[in-house]
Structure 1
Amino acid sequence: MKLKISFFKEPKHVGVVTCVSWNNTEDVFSCGDDHKLLKWNLVNGECLTVTTFPDDFYPTCMHLFPKINTGSSKHQHDVILIACADGKFHIVNNNGRIEKSVNAHQGACLVAQWSPDGAGLLTAGEDGFVKIWSRNGLLRSTVVQSDEPCYNSIWSPDSSAILYTKGNSLVIKYLNSSTKLTKWKAHDGVILCVAWNANNNLIISGSEDGYSKIWDSFGQQLSVSVKHDQPITNVSWSPAGDMFIIGSYNLIRLCNANGWSHCLDRPSTGSIYSIAWSSDGTQLAAACANGHVLFAHIIDREFTWKNFACTQTGRKVVSIKDILTDQSDQLDYPDRVIQIAMGFNHLVVATVKQCFIHKLTSWNTPVTFDLKEGTISMILLAERCICVIERAGVSIYSYMGRLLASPRCGSRPETLGRAAVSLGPDSFALVDQTDRKVIHVHDLPTGLIVRSSNDNAVTKLVHKMTVSNIALSQTGPINERQLALLDYNRDLHVVTVKDPKPKFVKLGSQVLSIIWSAETELLVGLRANSVVAWCCSRAATQPDWLALTTVSKDISDLGRNPSIVSIEDGVVCVCRGNGSLFHVSLAAFPEKLLKHVATNMWQEALQLCRTVEDETLWACLAVLAWQYNQLAVAEEAFAIIHQYHQVCYIQHLRSSIPEKLTT
């Protein structure tokens, strides 16, 4: 993955460009010391002068009104908020006319930002004050009074707190006065820039000491960059929270959410003062000290599934290759590609206007359907359906392009992170964004589900702790659908969604990442120094059975924040903290056994256990046979693993019930 950078030969601004902001996925506003507000169109390459402000108008920060689904009037979506060096902030319409000017600070007003819900705005300045204003520019409160300049401040994702800089420290001030503020020393030098992402709830800071660091909302350091030669002048998260950008003097660096670097470019731009991502997370614009506005889009994104590899090689071009047959093809699209997903024998490519569904056996005959809005933040795949998450909402489609469902998920669907949603073959689960202890599981009309009239299409699950990650099982009927979740204590729980009284059963603790096998009910988790596979997660109600059917393998040098990428045929692909991938063969035989059981091939399952002669495999067969009432098989398996009390109980059952129930 890397950036393809472009800018005009001659700068359109005279002097320093201080701020940029996106109007939509193709239009960018920029403003600088030449007092001009320019509008750039990336489709036709045009640059228009919207207006020229007065000579004493020196902008320091610019932010467009957030696009939210509240039914508000359209003109509010085009309001621009600009902070200036004379201490004022200005509310400007998209034609460049100043609607309102407010004296906000003594000295320069360094920050002006709309709240995520658009209900208000905050400003921060050289006088050390941080203030909150109404949408119309009326002062609501002075949140912070300090004797040090506040170089940057930002809203929390839910608008309940603000993060601001104070020298070399970061401070989170909660707007609820009963909650104490959180303050920590973050750098050795003055902190110049911060960013807080709504999807992963992580914070980046950049400082004069040349370091950028990643923090959680409690002030715990998660990652630190290499030391750069110059101060970090700007940092910015991608909307999805899976990447971020660092800007410095003649330097722009694209990094993964863990902090390791994808690519480093050194354009001759001087210091980069402002970086803004497009809402689809595929493009960015940067304000440069030499008068240029730099544009970049992400290319060489790679996706793999089994023996297929897919790479985005250009804005509108995707190449796909079958590694086994060495057959390859280049897929050209009429519009810019913004999201790609591959799995379950399909390749799904979303452009600005349409979504293309390719079968991996026939790449050149895709199914297409139009999108509601060209701002897709995520595509999820399951065996029988596709989930498309865009600003207009969440939509579930079949692989034939038919709309199956549009689950409700709140006012800002684009802030749903990948950890907060999960798609199964017949279900869609998401964490409630207003109360993260609540999980909503929606049943999907895939045509294979037969419901009674009193069935509820939405199941509400309430956990006792805040949920950080969820995953739906991918196999079995809907009444056996399982949901695995990680809470903020890193405890792993599993629950059967359709139980009359769903019960969360704990499988383990200190789990960092989880994934279900796409073909069986094998659940794999990653700990700091090991990979663990729960072969029979339904056995969690019996602690001794759970221990017997759990496979673990120790590994080392995982680094910080490792994650599981995939599992196939018992081979787990793990991404280390530094971004490198490696494979661990963990549960090949248990997964083979689970496939036999799923197809009711009990004799083949017995033959597999007799051949391998592994105690864990026999334990899995014993538990599964017991659950499926295969008492003869269960008796033999329990005897092999020395569970003689269970053997006696089965013999008692077999002697007291008709023979036909035991076969």
Structure 2
Amino acid sequence: MKLKISSFKEPKHVGVVICVSWNNTEDVFSCGDDHKLLKWNLVNSECMTVMTFSDDFYPTGMHLFPKINMGGNKHQHDVILISTADGKFHIVNHNGRIEKTINAHQGACLAAQWSPDGAGLLTAGEDGFVKVWSRNGLLRSTIVQSDVPCYNAVWSPDSSAILYTKENFLVIKHLNSNNKIIKWKAHEGLILCVAWNANNNMIISGSEDGFSKIWDTFGQQISVSVKHDQPITSVSWSPAGDLFVIGSYNLLRLCSANGWSHCLDRPATGSIYNIAWSSDGTQLAAACANGHVMFAHIIEREYTWKNFSCTQTGRKVISIKDIITDQSDQLDYPDRVIQIALGFNHLVIATVKQCFIHKLSSWNTPVTFDLKEGTISMILLSERCLCVVERAGLSVYSYMGRLLASPRWGARPDTLGRAGLSLGPDSLAAIDQTDRKLIHVFDLPTGLIVRSSSDNTVTKLSHKMTVSDIALSQSGPISERQLALLDYNRDLYVITVKDPKAKFNKLGSQILDIVWSSETELLVGLRASSVVAWCCPRAATQTDWLALTTVSKEITDLGRNPSVVCVEDGVARICRGNGSMLHVSLAAFPEKLLKHVAANMWQAALQLCRTVEDETLWACLAVLAWQQHQLAVAEEAFALIHQYQQVCYIQHLRNTIPEKLSSGRLTVN
């Protein structure tokens, strides 16, 4: 993955460009020391002057009103917030006319930002004050009073707190005064820029000391960059939270959310003062000191699934290859590609206007359907359906392009991350954004009859702790659908969603990441120095059984914040903290056994265990046979793992009530 950079031959601004902001995925506004507000169109490669302000108008920041679904007049929301060096902020419409000017600070107004919900705005000034204002420019409260300049301040994703800089410290101040202020020393030099992502809830900071660092909301350091030669003048998260970019003097670096670098470019632009991502997360614009507005888009994104490899080679071009047959092809699209998903024998491509569904067996004849709007933040795949996350909401489609459901639970789709959303073959699970202890599980109509979204059955699960990650199992009937979750203590729990006596059963602690196998109920988790596979998560109700059916393998040099990408045929694909990939063969035989059991091939399962002669494999067979009421198989398996009390119990059942066993009327718990 890398950035393809472009800019106009001649700068359109005279002097330094201070700030840029996206209006939509094709239009960008920029403002600089030449007092001009320019509008750039990337489709037509045109630049027009929207407004020339007065000679004393020196901008320090700019933010467009957030694109959210709000009532009232739409044109009231088409406004731009601009802060200036004379201590004022201005509310400007898209035609450049100043609607309102407010004296906000003594000295320069160094930062101004609309709240994510659009209900208000904040400003930070050279006088050390941070203030919150109404949408119409009325002062609500002065949040911070300090004796040192505040160079930057941003809202929290839920608009409940403010992050601001104080020299080399970062401070989180909650608007609710009952909450404790969180303050920590973040850098050795003055902090110049910060960003807070709505999807991963992570904070990134850049400083005069040449470092950029990633933090969680408790002030714990997640990652730190290499030392750069010059101060970090700008940082920006991508909307999805999986990438971020930092800008410095003649430097632009694209990094993953874990902090490792994808690419480094050294354009001759001088310092990069501001960077803004487009809402689809595929393009960015940068304000440069030499008068240029620099544009870049992401290319060479790579995706793999089994023996297929897919690479985006251009804005509208995808290259796909079957590694086994060496068959390859180049797929051209009429519009710019913004999202790609590969898996479950399908390749799904979302462009600005349409979604293309390719079968991997015949990728030249795709199924297409029109999108509601051209801002897609995420595509999730499962065996029977796919989920498209747009700014307007979530939509679940079949692979034939039919709309199956549009689940709604009051969430803002643009702040939904992959950790808080999971798609199963017949279910969709989502963490509630207002109460992160609550999980919504929607039943999806994946049959021939398509019901309306109001008919979808919703199961609400409430956990005792705040939930950070969820994952639905990908195999089995809906009555046996399992949900795995990680809470903020990094404890792993699993629950059967449709169980009338559903209970969260704990599987392990200090788990960093989880993923289900796409074909079986094998659950793989990652610890700091090991990989763990739970072959029978349903055995969590029995502590002894859980230990017997768990496989663990020690791994060194995983680095900070590793993640599990996928699990195929018992092989876990792990992304290390430095971005390199590692394949760990962890549970190849247990997953083969699970496939035999799912196909009701008990003799094949027995033959596999007798051939391999592994105690863990026999334990898995014993637990699975017991759960499926295959008592003869369970008796042999329990005997070979020395669970003699269970063998005696099974013999007691077989000897005392043979008629019930033969008729199949026995219920074994």
Q: CA deviation at 1:606?
A: 0.3
Which residue pairs with 1:71 in the alignment?
71
Contact 2:124 2:152 survives alignment (8 Å): yes
Higher mean displacement: 214-223 or 408-417: 408-417
**Deviation by residue 1:119-153 (Cα, 9 ceiling, x = unmatched):** 00000011100000000001111111101000000
Instruction: Find the aligned partners of 1:430 and 1:229 in 2 and give their Cα distance.
Output: 43
How far the C-alpha of 1:410 sits from its partner, in A, is: 2.3
Structure 1 runs of 4+ aligned residues shifted over 4 Å read 448-451
* Deviation, structure 1 residue 501: 2.4
How many angstroms does 1:71 deviate by? 2.9
The answer (yes or no) to whether the contact 2:445–2:456 under 8 Å persists in 1 is no
Secondary structure of the structure 1 residue equivalent to 2:485: strand
Residues 304-350 of structure 1, C-alpha deviations (whole Å, 9 max, x = no match) = 00000000000000000000011100000000000000000000000
Q: State how far apart, in whole Å, the 1-side matches of 2:188 and 2:251 are.
A: 21
* Contact 2:411/2:432, CA 8 A, preserved across alignment: no
Q: 1:138 — aligned with what?
A: 138
1:661 CA drift (Å): 4.8
Tell me the distance in 1 between the aligned counterparts of 2:246 and 2:264.
10
Q: Residues 366-402 of structure 1: CA distance to partner in whole angstroms, max 9, x if unpaired?
A: 0000001110000000000000001010000000000
Pairing 1:535-546 to 2, within 5 Å after superposition: 535-546=535-546
Q: Which residue is equivalent to 2:124?
A: 124
SS in 2 for 1:439: strand
Structure 2 counterpart SS, 1:561: coil
Is the CA contact 2:411–2:433 (under 8 Å) kept in the aligned structure 1? no
Residue 3 of structure 2 corresponds to which residue in structure 1? Answer: 3
Query: Residue 295 of structure 1 aligns with which residue?
Result: 295
- 1:314 corresponds to which residue? 314
CA distance in 1, matches of 2:5, 2:161: 35
Distance 1:450 1:251 in 2: 52
Q: Answer yes or no: is the 8 Å Cα contact 1:449–1:478 preserved in 2.
A: no
Equivalent residue, structure 2, for 1:277: 277
1:174 corresponds to: 174
Rounded Cα–Cα distance in structure 1 between residues aligned with 2:528 and 2:663? 45
- Selected match of 2:662 from 653, 660, 663: 660
In structure 1, the residue matched to 2:500 is 500
Conservation of the 8 A alpha-carbon contact between 2:133 and 2:139: yes
TM-score (norm 1): 0.98
Residue 378 of structure 1 pairs with residue 374 of structure 2: no
Question: Shift of residue 576 of structure 1?
Answer: 0.5
Instruction: Give the secondary-structure state (helix, strand or coil) at the position aligned to 1:511.
Output: coil
State the alpha-carbon separation in 1 of the partners of residues 285 and 637 from structure 2. Answer: 63
**Other-structure match for 1:390:** 390
The alpha-carbon deviation at position 411 of structure 1 amounts to 4.6
Check conservation: 1:572, 1:586, Cα contact below 8 A: yes
Gaps of 5+ in 1: none
Question: For each residue in 1:444-465, what CA deviation from the matched residue of structure 2 results, as whole angstroms up to 9, or x when unmatched?
Answer: 00117999xxx97000000000
CA distance in 1 between partners of 2:663 and 2:511 (Å): 40
Is residue 2:619 matched to residue 1:625? Answer: no
2:601 counterpart residue number: 601
Distance 1:537 1:497, change over 3 A: same
Q: Structure 1 counterpart of 2:335, which letter? A: D
Deviation at 1:414, TM superposition (A): 1.1
Q: Partner residue of 2:153?
A: 153
Q: In the comparison of the two structures, how many residue pairs are matched?
A: 661
SS class of match (2:188): coil
Distance in structure 1 (CA, Å) of the matches to 2:69 and 2:443: 24
Q: Does 1:206 align with 2:206?
A: yes
In structure 1, C-alpha distance between the alignment counterparts of 2:104 and 2:352, rounded to whole Å: 39
Match of 1:466 in 2: 466
What's the counterpart of residue 256 of structure 1? 256
Task: Give 1:574-613 correspondences, 5 Å limit.
Answer: 574-613=574-613
2:444·2:456 contact (CA, 8 Å) conserved in 1? Answer: no
Please state if 1:239 is matched with 2:245.
no
* One-letter identity of the residue aligned with 1:92: V
Q: Give 1:53's aligned residue.
A: 53
Structure 2 residue identity aligned to 1:589: F
Question: What secondary structure is seen at the aligned counterpart in 2 of 1:56?
Answer: coil
| 1:554-588 deviations in Å (ceiling 9; x for gaps) | 11111100000111000011111000001100000
**Structure 2 CA distance, aligned partners of 1:77 and 1:25?**
17
- The letter for the 2-side match of 1:638 is F
Query: Identity over the aligned pairs, expressed in percent?
Result: 84
Secondary structure of the 2:219 match is coil
Shift of residue 232 of structure 1? 0.3
Asked whether the 8 Å contact 1:64–1:81 carries over to 2, the reply is yes
1:526 aligns with 2:543: no
In structure 2, the residue matched to 1:414 is 414
Give the secondary structure class of the aligned counterpart of 2:604. helix
Q: AA paired with 1:596?
A: H
Determine the C-alpha separation between the residues in 1 that align with 2:215 and 2:449.
44
One-letter code of the match for 1:163? L
Which residue of 2 is the match for residue 107 of structure 1?
Answer: 107
CA contact (8 A) 2:442 2:456 kept: no
> Relative to structure 1, is the Cα distance of residues 406 and 494 closer, same or farther in structure 2, using a 3 angstrom cutoff?
same
Residues 459 and 282 from structure 1, CA distance in 2 versus in 1: closer, same or farther, beyond 3 angstroms?
Answer: same
Is the 2:341–2:380 Cα contact (8 Å) retained in structure 1?
Answer: yes
Residue 558, structure 1, aligned to residue 562, structure 2: no
Give SS of 2:622's match. Answer: helix
Give the superposed CA RMSD.
Answer: 1.4
Task: After superposition, give the CA deviation of every residue in 1:429-473 in whole Å (9 maximum; x if it has no partner).
Answer: 00000000000000000117999xxx9700000000000000000
Taking the aligned partners of 1:217 and 1:167, their CA distance within structure 2 comes to: 19
| Separation (CA, whole Å) in 2 of partners of 1:76 and 1:351 | 29
Are residue 230 (structure 1) and residue 230 (structure 2) matched?
A: yes
Normalised to the residue count of structure 2, the TM-score between the two structures is: 0.98
Q: What is the identity, as a one-letter code, of the residue corresponding to 2:119? A: A
In 1, Cα distance between equivalents of 2:409 and 2:552 = 37
Partner of 2:480: 480
**Displacement after TM superposition at 1:22 (Å):** 0.3
Secondary structure of residue in 1 paired with 2:193:
strand
Q: CA deviation at 1:656?
A: 1.9
For the residues of structure 1 that align with 2:588 and 2:433, how far apart are their CA atoms? 37
State the match for 2:98 in structure 1.
98
Structure-2 separation of matches of 1:330 and 1:427: 34
Aligned AA (2:279) = S
Give yes or no for the alignment of 1:446 onto 2:472.
no
Q: Distance in 2 between matches of 1:60 and 1:170?
A: 20
